[in-house]
């Protein structure tokens, strides 16, 4: 779509774009007003389901389908949680949306809350995002002062308030069950599923957890319709605008909005200006550090949507694209990933708690000149025991309570399998020394 114009980031960088006055002057809350005053809960769910909006936090699960899991017969209160934890390395899109256009996300929360009959919603934001948390508090105060939130919003009989909760900077709290535990004031340990949050989430009540970017799409879907949304992107199977984060060895790192399914090579070499000094592309992590790395050859014609990246043996995830050129030491890069996850493991599951520590010890042997050739296969064995083999066709079959085990096992395994020669070269150098 060469004529594509930004939708989610249209107002990024414009002075005053974070204020309610600015947002209202640009048709702000028109969609929320319509959802509250003119649409039934089921109608909202149906429109979002027909749009095929997939969760932008990483899982890619259809939002409308997810909302449909809320048990209508339940007399318990329903809750909506906006996941603004954004802890995946290489990802910085949600922070951009919150900083420059918080009301777009809040409007999406109002629409989602109405759809599931929620009257109290939460924004769970990463603890380090102190400035962004203050911006959200200010935006919510503006909403309450103008009947956008509170009792009888927009003059209706529907009540809704939204509260901000700051986390403590734990990667694991990006996982929805750990997030809910943290929101309840407990240690951020994931729960075994089922039951899923839509049935038993916050305070054991029906709960929907949606990402910042996911919610930010909702006002546009309500205003423009499901057919319009499905018309954006390479295929209707994975449609809509998408925010891609590019970092690493690119000349213009940043967040770029493009249609879902845009080619990875176009994002790297056109949007981000290519690799520095024309160096050769070596590898790309397409969806944040928890996604298996792809070689330059695998990335060449890859379309950046959920099914295409999965078919290539990786994950679109949060679309945190980390670019590595020919100067990258893949052993050191892999060690960096493994060390991060060892630090962030919550420690609840033995395979993850012990396995991530074992991996870092093996890598330390490598980098200290004490590695053994058999350590290469030992790394693969440890990753298998933490998170299972990489086979997306079989679905989730990890060996830990949450996907954290796969988040470390899959990328480490991919590094070793695809760049084994570099791991072997480390041992050859050490043997020669």
The CATH number that applies at residue 64 is 3.40.50.11540
**Nearest-angstrom CA–CA distance, 408 and 416:** 13
Angle between the N-to-C axes of helices 93-100 and 102-116, in degrees from 0 to 180, rounded to the nearest 10: 100
Residues 419 and 373 in one domain: yes
Return the pLDDT at 419. 96
SS3 197: coil
Q: Are 289 and 411 in contact (CB under 8 A)?
A: yes
Q: How many domains are there within the chain?
A: 3
DSSP lists the bridge partners of residue 285 as 322
Return the pLDDT at 397. 58
pLDDT in tens, 2-49: 689 999 999 999 999 999 999 999 999 999 999 999 999 999 999 999
Average confidence (pLDDT) over 119-144: 97
pLDDT in tens, 319-352: 999 999 999 999 999 999 999 999 999 999 999 9
Return the pLDDT at 3. 84
Residues 44 and 163 in one domain: yes
Return the pLDDT at 370. 81
Query: Rounded to the nearest 5 degrees, what angle is found at the Cα of 141, between the Cα atoms of 136 and 144?
Result: 125
Does residue 8 form part of some domain? no
SS3 85: coil
Return the pLDDT at 43. 98
pTM of this structure: 0.94
H or E element in which residue 83 lies: strand 78-84
* CATH number, position 266: 3.10.20.600
**Nearest-angstrom CA–CA distance, 35 and 191:** 33
236 — pLDDT class (breaks 50, 70, 90): confident
Residues 412 and 264 in one domain: no
Return the pLDDT at 392. 52
Looking at the predicted structure, is the pLDDT value of residue 98 above 90? yes
User: Token pair for residue 393?
Assistant: 């066709």
- Of the residues 268, 300, 325, which one is the last residue of a structural domain? 325
pLDDT in tens, 289-300: 999 999 999 999
Return the pLDDT at 369. 79
Residues 249 and 340 in one domain: no
**Nearest-angstrom CA–CA distance, 223 and 401:** 39
Residues 321 and 304 in one domain: yes
Does residue 353 form part of some domain? yes
User: Token pair for residue 190?
Assistant: 């994931």
What does pLDDT average to over the chain?
A: 93
Q: Percentage of residues in the chain with pLDDT exceeding 70?
A: 96
120 — pLDDT class (breaks 50, 70, 90): very high
Does residue 6 form part of some domain? no
Does residue 150 form part of some domain? yes
Residues 294 and 346 in one domain: no
Torsion angle in degrees (nearest 10) through CA of 418, 420, 422, 425: -170
Does residue 1 form part of some domain? no
Distances (CA, A) of 180 to 118, 186, 224: 16, 9, 33
Residues 292 and 413 in one domain: no
137 — pLDDT class (breaks 50, 70, 90): very high
Average confidence (pLDDT) over 270-282: 96
* CATH number, position 360: 1.20.1440.230
Residues 349 and 426 in one domain: yes
Residues 335 and 321 in one domain: no
Residues 137 and 205 in one domain: yes
- Of the residues 230, 253, 271, which one is the last residue of a structural domain? 230
Taking alpha carbons only, the member of 262, 216, 219, 244 closest to residue 4 is 262
Return the pLDDT at 314. 95
Does residue 346 form part of some domain? yes
Does residue 177 form part of some domain? yes
**Nearest-angstrom CA–CA distance, 82 and 122:** 6
Average confidence (pLDDT) over 94-122: 98
Mean pLDDT lowest for which of 1-10, 59-68, 176-185?
1-10
371 — pLDDT class (breaks 50, 70, 90): confident
Q: Are 312 and 263 in contact (CB under 8 A)?
A: no
Does residue 354 form part of some domain? yes
Residues 162 and 309 in one domain: no
Average confidence (pLDDT) over 219-223: 98
Residues 24 and 118 in one domain: yes
Placement of tokens 């006055």 in the chain:
21
Query: What order do you get walking across the sheet with 320-325 strand by strand?
Result: 254-259, 241-248, 320-325, 281-285, 294-295
Query: Could you list the residue range(s) of the whole structural domain that residue 302 is in?
Result: 241-325
- Of the residues 325, 351, 384, which one is the last residue of a structural domain? 325
Residues 6+ apart with CB under 8 A from 232: 1, 4, 7, 239, 240, 241, 259, 260
- Buried b / exposed e over 208-234, threshold 16 CB at 10 Å, is bbbbbbbbbbbbbbbeeebeebbebbb
């Amino acid at each position: 779509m060469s004529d594509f114009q930004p939708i989610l980031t249209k107002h990024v960088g414009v002075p005053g774009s974070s204020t309610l006055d600015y947002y209202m002057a640009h048709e702000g809350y028109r969609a929320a007003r319509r959802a509250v005053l003119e649409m039934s809960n089921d109608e909202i769910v149906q429109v979002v389901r027909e749009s095929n909006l997939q969760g932008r936090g990483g899982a890619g699960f259809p939002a409308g389908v997810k909302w449909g899991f809320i048990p209508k017969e339940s007399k318990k209160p329903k809750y909506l949680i906006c996941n603004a934890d954004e802890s995946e390395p290489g990802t910085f899109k949600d922070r951009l949306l919150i900083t420059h256009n918080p009301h777009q996300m809040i409007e999406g929360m109002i629409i989602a809350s109405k759809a599931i009959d929620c009257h109290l919603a939460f924004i769970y934001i990463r603890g380090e995002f102190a400035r962004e948390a203050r911006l959200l508090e200010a935006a919510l105060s503006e909403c309450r002062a103008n009947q956008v939130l509170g009792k009888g919003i927009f003059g209706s009989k529907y009540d809704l308030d939204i509260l901000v909760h700051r986390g403590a900077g734990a990667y694991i709290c990006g996982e929805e069950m750990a997030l809910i535990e943290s929101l309840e004031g407990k240690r951020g340990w994931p729960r075994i599923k089922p039951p899923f949050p839509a049935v038993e989430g916050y305070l054991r009540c029906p709960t929907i957890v949606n990402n910042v970017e996911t919610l930010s799409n909702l006002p546009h879907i309500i205003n423009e319709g499901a057919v319009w949304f499905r018309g954006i992107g390479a295929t209707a199977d994975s449609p809509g605008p998408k925010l891609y984060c590019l970092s690493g060895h690119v000349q213009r790192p940043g967040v770029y909005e493009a249609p879902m399914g845009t080619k990875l090579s176009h994002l790297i070499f056109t949007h981000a200006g290519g690799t520095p000094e024309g160096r050769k592309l070596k590898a790309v992590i397409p969806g944040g550090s928890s996604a298996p790395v792809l070689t330059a050859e695998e990335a060449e014609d890859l379309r950046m949507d959920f099914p295409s990246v999965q078919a290539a043996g990786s994950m679109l995830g949060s679309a945190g694209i980390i670019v590595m050129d020919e100067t990258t030491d893949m052993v050191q890069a892999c060690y960096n990933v493994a060390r991060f996850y060892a630090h962030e493991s919550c420690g609840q599951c033995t395979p993850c708690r012990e396995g991530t520590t074992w991996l870092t010890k093996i890598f330390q042997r490598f980098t200290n000149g004490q590695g053994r050739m058999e350590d290469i296969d030992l790394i693969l064995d440890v990753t298998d025991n933490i998170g299972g083999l990489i086979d997306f066709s079989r679905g989730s079959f990890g060996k830990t309570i949450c996907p954290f085990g796969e988040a470390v096992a899959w990328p480490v395994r991919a590094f070793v399998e695809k760049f084994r020669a570099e791991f072997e070269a480390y041992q050859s150098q050490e043997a020669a020394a």
